[in-house]
């Protein structure tokens, strides 16, 4: 500035925090105190200071009234948002989860085998597999159940897991299902599956006879030299099947298979507890199977079903089981909740550590058809939080809580599991089909988030860091949003949802026109290899998903990208209902989460 050299030294005034007086500070940093006389009036009027001239006092008063009113409204709105319970707010879901749920459940309607219901929402399906069970090697009624995926085989092991998981989602969130009008729909799907599971176990007719378990209907065909039509090499709608469908048979030593059936029937019995006769029928069968299976475990004859060729030789290529201990603990846990019998809880808690030791490193912490340990730990933690039974269970239940805390940490820290560039967690990157694992991780993390919220626990510590409920919520939501279209390809991996989804799904029924004509195996090949989109939209089917780089090929013959499965969709349904907004009125004084916190404990009492 011109003439700046002639300016007097600059002084600033600041407040002395202790004396309430002003201090002057010169540029040479020496200060002196001066008294502050706040009674002195300003020599200038405020109008003069701000050059404000009021020409019309009426308009001025009106302006003040409007300004004050707006300020009050803004303040009130801010207070409402501030004190609104966190769990009543939306958590970033821009997706229509009601529609997504309806479609995801409808996929199971498209997978039904047997006498097809006339009221089904699926227009391109009919009755099929009406001779299932009547084969050259066995004569049994195995009509019903679900086709596993894009083929026409019925695998009992993943089907039982599917019913267990769907039932669990209803036990926890039946209020949400009812609120959106899907409760009867999901119960119909569960009953269709549990009706079939009631058929797959045959008790011994004599004391010396073995029990029978039917593990599979249909064949993948092992004879490559003399191939005959089967459920893999024949591309044909199930309604057109004419080839033989052999039945795979196990005995009571197939403990993993038996354990999952027990878990499914027990969980379903809780779903249908208002229908007492049917619920008791499910429970009686579950206890009968468990009693035989537990005996085999005690005499060290228990094995996995896929180790026996006649039982699971073909299933080994699709659903090879790595152990049976987690299924037996899983079975006992669900039987305990269904009956309140502490004998089952004794077994589950006593053998939980052994099941954990038996868990393979590759699948540690992953909840899917082959590993139930993490899910079991969530159920044990639920018991510890809300119905603590004390001695002698507290140590195992505490161990379970620690296990789940560490699993949630591993989901969030990105140290244990990699992610795609678009954010999809890769829980089992070497096996393909990442969406089924991401869906169950989303379900478990959201369910555990709800437990922690009701337990009034907002954060926890991990090895290197701490995490909050908001971070866990963000993770679980991100996985569902990825599946539904928030990914680099902007593609919904659930068929029919959104504007961009797979149209060449690996699925026989979806790819062959529903034209009232019979199509042979040879004719079906042209639909398998066709470049045209599927003529039938397989609504709600979640495909296997992208690779580790978020790349996806919408080609019918590439099963590792485009094939759906009932086990995968079960995880999707569970995750969707967990993330769906709760009903407006929860009927409780706690946070409104739409979760039935005490229903599962109806028969659980302190052990006297």
In this structure, what are the phi and psi dihedrals at residue 66, rounded to the nearest 5 degrees?
-65, -45
d(CA 265, CA 134): 24
Q: Which residues contact 479 (CB under 8 A, 6 or more apart)?
A: 424, 425, 438, 439, 441, 442, 575
**Residue for token pair 């966190």:** 86
**Residue for token pair 């379903």:** 268
d(CA 594, CA 54): 57
Neighbours of 45 (CB within 10 A): 9
Exposure on the CB side of residue 111, measured as CA atoms within 13 A:
33
What is the distance, to the nearest Å, from the Cα of residue 447 to the centroid of all Cα atoms in its chain? 8
Residue-by-residue DSSP string for 293-304? HHHHHHTT--B-
Instruction: Return the H-helix or E-strand segment holding 213.
Output: strand 212-217
Tokens of 12: 């600033």
Told to judge if 59 belongs to the known catalytic residues of this protein, a careful annotator would answer: no
Residue-by-residue DSSP string for 454-518? HTT--EEE-SS-EEEHHHHHHHHHHHHHHHTT-STT---SBTTSSS---SS-S-HHHHS--SS--
In this structure, what are the phi and psi dihedrals at residue 252, rounded to the nearest 5 degrees?
-70, -10
Residue-by-residue DSSP string for 379-418? HHHHHHHHS---TTTHHHHHHHHHHHHHHHHHHHHSSSSE
Choice among 504, 506, 519, 579 that is catalytic? 506
Exposure on the CB side of residue 354, measured as CA atoms within 13 A:
13
What is the distance, to the nearest Å, from the Cα of residue 127 to the centroid of all Cα atoms in its chain? 30
Which is nearest to 345 in space by CA: 301, 400, 421?
400
Tokens of 509: 């029924």
**Residue for token pair 């200071």:** 49
d(CA 429, CA 431): 6
Instruction: Return the H-helix or E-strand segment holding 212.
Output: strand 212-217
Which is nearest to 327 in space by CA: 249, 400, 258?
258
| Catalytic site positions | 506
């Amino acid at each position: 500035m011109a003439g700046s050299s002639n300016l007097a030294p600059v002084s600033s005034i600041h407040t002395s925090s202790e004396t309430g007086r002003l201090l002057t500070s010169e540029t040479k940093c020496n200060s002196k105190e001066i008294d502050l006389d706040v009674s002195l009036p300003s020599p200038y009027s405020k109008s003069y200071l701000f050059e404000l001239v009021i020409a019309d006092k009426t308009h001025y008063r009106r302006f003040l009234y409007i300004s004050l009113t707006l300020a009050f409204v803004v303040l009130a709105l801010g207070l409402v948002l501030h004190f609104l319970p966190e769990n009543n707010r939306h958590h970033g879901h821009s997706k229509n989860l009601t529609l997504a749920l309806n479609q995801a459940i409808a996929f199971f309607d498209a997978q039904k085998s047997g006498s097809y219901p006339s009221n089904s929402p699926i227009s391109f399906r009919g009755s099929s597999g009406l001779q299932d069970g009547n084969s050259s090697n066995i004569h049994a009624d195995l009509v019903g159940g679900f086709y596993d995926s894009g083929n026409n085989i019925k695998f009992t092991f993943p089907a039982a897991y599917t019913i267990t998981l769907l039932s669990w989602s209803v036990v926890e969130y039946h209020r949400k299902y009812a609120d959106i009008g899907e409760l009867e729909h999901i119960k119909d799907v569960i009953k269709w599956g549990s009706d079939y599971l009631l058929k797959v176990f045959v008790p011994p007719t004599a004391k010396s006879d073995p029990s029978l378990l039917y593990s599979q209907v249909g064949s993948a065909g092992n004879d490559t030299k003399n191939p005959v039509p089967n459920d893999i090499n024949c591309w044909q709608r199930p309604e057109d099947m004419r080839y033989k469908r052999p039945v795979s048979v196990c005995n009571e030593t197939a403990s993993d298979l038996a354990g999952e059936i027990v878990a499914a029937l027990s969980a379903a019995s809780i779903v249908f507890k208002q229908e007492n006769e049917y619920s008791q029928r499910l429970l009686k069968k579950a206890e009968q199977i468990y009693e035989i299976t537990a005996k085999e475990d005690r005499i060290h004859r228990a094995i996995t079903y896929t180790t026996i060729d006649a039982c699971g030789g073909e299933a080994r290529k699709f659903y090879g089981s790595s152990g049976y201990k987690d299924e037996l603990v899983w079975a006992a846990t669900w039987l305990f909740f269904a009956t309140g019998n502490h004998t089952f809880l004794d077994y589950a808690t006593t053998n939980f550590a052994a099941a954990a030791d038996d868990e393979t490193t590759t699948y540690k912490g992953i909840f899917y058809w082959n590993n139930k340990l993490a899910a079991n730990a969530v159920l044990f933690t639920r018991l510890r939080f809300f119905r603590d039974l004390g001695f002698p269970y507290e140590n195992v239940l505490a161990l379970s809580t620690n296990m789940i805390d560490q699993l949630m940490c591993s989901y969030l820290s990105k140290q244990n599991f990699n992610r795609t560039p678009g954010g999809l967690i890769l829980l089992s990157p070497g096996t393909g089909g990442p969406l089924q694992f991401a869906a169950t991780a989303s379900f478990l993390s959201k369910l555990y988030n709800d437990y922690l919220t009701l337990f009034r626990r907002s954060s926890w510590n991990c090895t290197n860091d701490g995490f909050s409920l908001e971070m866990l919520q963000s993770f679980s939501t991100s996985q569902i949003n990825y599946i539904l279209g928030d990914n680099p390809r902007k593609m919904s991996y659930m068929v029919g949802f959104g504007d961009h989804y797979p149209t060449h799904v690996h699925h026989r029924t979806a790819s062959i026109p529903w034209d009232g004509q019979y199509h042979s195996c040879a004719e079906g090949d042209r639909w398998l290899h066709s470049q045209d989109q599927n003529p039938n939209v397989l609504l709600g089917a979640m495909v296997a998903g992208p690779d580790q780089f978020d790349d996806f090929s919408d080609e019918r013959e590439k099963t590792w990208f485009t094939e759906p499965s009932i086990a995968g969709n079960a995880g999707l349904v569970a995750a969707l209902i967990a993330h769906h907004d709760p009903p407006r009125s929860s009927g409780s004084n706690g946070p409104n989460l739409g979760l039935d916190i005490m229903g599962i404990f109806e028969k659980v009492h302190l052990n006297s």
